[in-house]
Amino acid sequence: MIRDMLKPEYIFIGQKPASHTLADALALISERCSPYAGVKATALTKAFLAREKMGSTGFGEQLAIPHAKVRKLKQPMIALFRFTEGVDWNAMDGQPVKLAIALVMPKEDKDNTHLTILAKLSRRLVHPEFMEALLSAETEEALYKYIIEEMEENK
């Protein structure tokens, strides 16, 4: 269920990494996710960077979807980060990234339900009005409520 993977406390708006670089942004994301995922922040950063090396997850339109696959994860998580200033993500359109949807997933793939949820979320992300809402929601609670409503609707 989406509610198991995405919780109100996983939404972070007004985030300010140490610098505009991708490395610092990922370090911040890792640090925030670490306590909930039960995985060391340094391990998370390494996993995120490994995926970026295969090709940037900065997919343009100010959005990035960094993924980390880690061992022995209890619960896959989706975390949402909105940065106060754009991060230089080597995005495909060269634009800075304002919004990152970070995915922390188990390396051992026992259960596919989280992938199905991600597939559904991904399909929503290409709709401009969905992105617009994610970028403009004023509070973390509002943002959370919007995503859950969109995801639980049968679209």
Partner 1 sequence: MKIVGVTACPTGIAHTYMAAEKITEEATKRGFEVKIETRGSVGIENQLTAEEIRAADVVVLGVGVSVDKSMFSGKKIVEASVADVIHNTDKVIDLAVAAAADTNYPLYEEKQDDGNRQLKTEADTFLNLLKKIPKHLMTGVSYMIPFVAAGGIMIAISFMFGIEASGVEGSLPYYLNTIGGIAFSVMIPIMAAFIAYSMADRPGIAPGMVAGLIVTQLDPSPGFLGGIIGGLLAGMAAWAIKKLKMPKALAGLMPVLIIPLFSTFLVGILMYFVIAPPCAALQAAMTGWLTNMSNGSGILLGAVIGAMLAFDLGGPVNKVAYMFGVGLLAEGIFEPQAASMASGMVPSLAMALATLLNKDLYTPAERESGKTAWLLGASFIAEGAIPFAGADPLRVIPSLMVGSAVAGGMAMAFHLTLQAPHGGIFVMGLVNKPLLFLLCTAVGTVISALLVNFLKGIKYRKGQSK
Annotated catalytic sites, by residue? 67
Residue placing its CB nearer to partner 1 in the complex, 112 or 154: 112
DSSP assignment of 26-80: HHHHHHHHHHHHTS-HHHHHHHHHHHHHTS--EEETTEE--EEEETT-SS-EEEE
CB 37 to partner 1: min, Å: 16
1 scored as a contact of partner 1 (CB under 8 A): no
| CB-nearer residue toward partner 1: 16 or 107 | 107
Q: Which one, 40 or 127, has the nearer CB to partner 1?
A: 127
115-154 positions binding partner 1, by CB under 8 A: 115-116, 118-123, 125-127
CA distances from 114 to 17, 24, 44, 109, 120 (A): 28, 27, 18, 10, 10
Q: How many residues at the interface with partner 1, by CB under 8 A? A: 25
- CA-to-CA distance for 22 and 88, rounded, in angstroms? 6
Q: Does 54 bind partner 1 (CB under 8 A)?
A: yes
Question: Residue 62: which residues within 8 A CB-CB, separation 6 or more?
Answer: 86, 95, 96, 97, 98, 99, 131, 135
Our CB check for partner 1 shows the closer of 41 and 118 to be: 118
Binding site for partner 1 (CB under 8 A): 51, 54-55, 59-61, 65, 67, 92-93, 103, 105, 109, 112, 115-116, 118-123, 125-127
